[in-house]
Amino acid sequence: MNLLASLGSLLLFSTAWVCTVNAKSAVGDRVLVLVPKLESAKHYSRFLGSLETRGFDLSVSTASNASVSLQIDGERTFDHAILLAPAAKKMGSGLTPRDFVRFVDDGGNLM
């Protein structure tokens, strides 16, 4: 009986681990990654590579890029936004605090 319980626990743990390691968002796979300078993305290569391996579509941009927008015509252009430039003094015109709030309110994820 103990062997059966142990095998059941092992199977449950293995299933949970596989699901966690291979987890992908149910919201979508479009990810905006904002960095201070494009060269600084190399510092996050392991993290970004793991996201790409899981099937996420990454768009890396500088936080000050005026052409980047979280929404166009009321539709989200990304499902997730990762801000790796918290000390940026100036954001692009489509990346105001109000834009980030609207993005999250409309179901986007911000990290």
The predicted pLDDT at position 79 comes to: 96
Give me the count of residues in the chain.
Answer: 111
Q: Could you tell me the mean pLDDT of each successive run of 10 residues in the chain, 111 residues long?
A: 45 44 70 92 94 95 92 92 87 88 94 93
Full-model pTM: 0.75
